[in-house]
Amino acid sequence: RELTGEVEFENVDFGYNPDKIVLHDINMYAKPGQKIAFVGSTGAGKTTITNLINRFYDIQDGKIRYDNINIGKIKKPDLRRSLGIVLQDTHLFTGTVMDNIRYGKLDATDEECIKAAKLANAHDFIKRLPDGYNTVLTGDGANLSQGQRQLLAIARAAVADPPALILDEATSSIDTRTEAMVSKGMDALMAGRTSFVIAHRLSTVKDADCIMVMEQGRIIERGTHDQLIDMKGRYYQLYTG
Ligand code: DGT
Ligand code: MG
């Protein structure tokens, strides 16, 4: 059965070590196609939540459901693969640009990879590389800029065409023009998919269907940007200085 991208957490507790719980009683519901943003200070648990959406770890208590299938306790690698991930540190390998994109879906044709690169807004820079899509990347893509690596990561996720996505926005310094390119690619990728975004840019947060404000392993506030600003709580503090 195809997944729709519906994701639900019910009373989820989690610790990397069972004796040290780092996420407490997490409840959330994402309708197919919604964009959920996580904000909060360092160590609040944002990455940990996305690790659980990916089912990289077993949870201690509660339920995680994709389309009503509880995947919280049992390992279902087939389900795990159906989610797309764009991480801060994109793991590129020694091989061509084309093969690095194809890694998102191993049986993808060249045409599918190029289509994904176009959607990701990566096609233009790839065309300008010495050998275009056949350019060989050094291990970990050291011969690309950080922004270019992000665009490739977006293309790789796009070729997989997953119902749900996890995006960890880069914090580090990419220039404004590159950031705009990455942002455009991400928006195209997110359209029509459930997206969980660890957001650092206010522009990304602002149009989220729901923003989860995290602190010390708990969701302490949630709502749209306007609702949270009206609440005059932690989020308001974060975004008004
Ligand atoms: P960031 O990325 O610095 O903004 O912080 P978050 O919000 O992504 O925080 P997160 O989820 O990485 O960390 C939450 C807590 O879990 C924090 O106390 C550190 C701990 N933690 C994170 N990753 C691991 C891990 O791989 N092993 C263990 N034992 N603890 C971890
Ligand atoms: Mg993190």
Instruction: Check pLDDT > 60 for residue 90.
Output: yes
Confidence category of residue 88, pLDDT binned at 50, 70, 90: low
Instruction: Lowest mean pLDDT of 59-63, 171-175, 198-202, name the range.
Output: 171-175
Q: How many domains would you assign to the chain?
A: 2
The span from the CA of 88 to the CA of 172, in Å, is 9
54 pLDDT tier (thresholds 50, 70, 90): confident
- Surrounding ion ligand 2 within 5 Å at CB are 47
Dist CA 149 CA 138 (whole Å): 12
Higher pLDDT, 59 or 213: 213
Same-domain status, 29 and 130: no
How far, in Å, from the CA of 46 to the mean position of ligand 1? 8
> Is the pLDDT at 172 greater than 70, yes or no?
no
pLDDT band at 89 (very low <50, low <70, confident <90, very high): low
169 and 78 in a common domain? yes
Residue 67, SS3 per DSSP: coil
User: Nearest residue CA, atom 11 of ligand 1?
Assistant: 45
Q: Is the pLDDT of residue 72 over 70?
A: no
To the nearest 10°, report the CA torsion of 132, 135, 137, 138.
-140
- Structural element, H or E, at residue 234: helix 234-240
* C-alpha 111 – ligand 2 centre gap (Å): 34
Write out the residue range of the structural domain in which residue 26 sits. 1-82+164-241
Please tell me which of 7-21, 70-84, 136-150, 167-181 the model is most confident about, judged by mean pLDDT.
7-21
How many angstroms separate the CA atoms of 109 and 59, rounded? 37
- Whether residue 51 is predicted with pLDDT greater than 60 in this model: the reply is yes
Written as six digits, the tokens of 24 are: 């407490």
> pLDDT by residue (tens digit) across 121-152?
999 999 999 999 999 998 766 788 888 988 99
Looking at residue 176, its amino acid is: T
Which residue's CA is the closest to the ligand 1 atom numbered 3? Answer: 42
Starting at the edge strand that comes first in sequence, how are the strands of the sheet with 83-86 ordered? 83-86, 164-168, 194-198, 35-40, 210-215, 218-223
- Please indicate, yes or no, whether residues 153 and 168 belong to a single structural domain of this protein: no
Phi/psi of residue 205, each to 5°?
A: -70, -40
ipTM, 2 decimals?
0.98
Q: How far is the CA of 16 from the centre of ligand 1 (A)?
A: 9
* 71 and 107 together in one domain: no
- Ligand lying closest to the C-alpha of residue 46: 1
Examine the domain organization and report whether 48 and 97 are in the same domain. Answer: no
Please provide the average confidence, as pLDDT, over all residues in the chain.
Answer: 87
| Residue from 12, 13, 14, 16 whose mutation best tests the ligand 1 pocket (most atoms within 8 A of CB) | 16
Q: What is the mean pLDDT of residues 62-70?
A: 85
Give residue 83's pLDDT. Answer: 62
- How does residue 38 score in pLDDT terms, banded at 50, 70 and 90? very high
**234 or 3, higher pLDDT:** 234
Question: Which of the two residues, 133 and 41, has the higher pLDDT score?
Answer: 133
Question: Average pLDDT for residues 40-67, to the nearest whole number?
Answer: 87
| 119 token code pair | 């959607």
Return the ligand 1 atom nearest residue 198 CA: 8
**Same domain membership, residue 96 and residue 61:** no
CA–CA dist 218, 32 (Å, integer) = 24
CA distance 219 to 39: 10
Closest residue by Cα to residue 212 from 194, 192, 227: 227
Boundary of a domain, candidates 144, 161, 178? 161
Residues 122 and 191 in one domain: no
Percent pLDDT > 90 in the chain is 55
Q: What is the pLDDT of residue 182?
A: 86
Residue that is last in its domain, among 112, 127, 161: 161
> Does 47 contact ligand 1 (Cβ within 6 A)?
yes
pLDDT of residue 48: 92
Mutational pocket test of ligand 1: of 13, 17, 19, 22, the residue with most ligand atoms within 8 Å of the beta carbon: 22
Does residue 23 lie within any of the structural domains? yes
**Would you place residue 66 in the very low, low, confident or very high pLDDT band (cuts 50, 70, 90)?**
confident
**What is the Å distance from ligand 1's center to 42 Cα?**
8
168 and 51 fall within a common domain? yes
Structural domain contains residue 87 = no
CATH number of the domain residue 205 falls in: 3.40.50.300
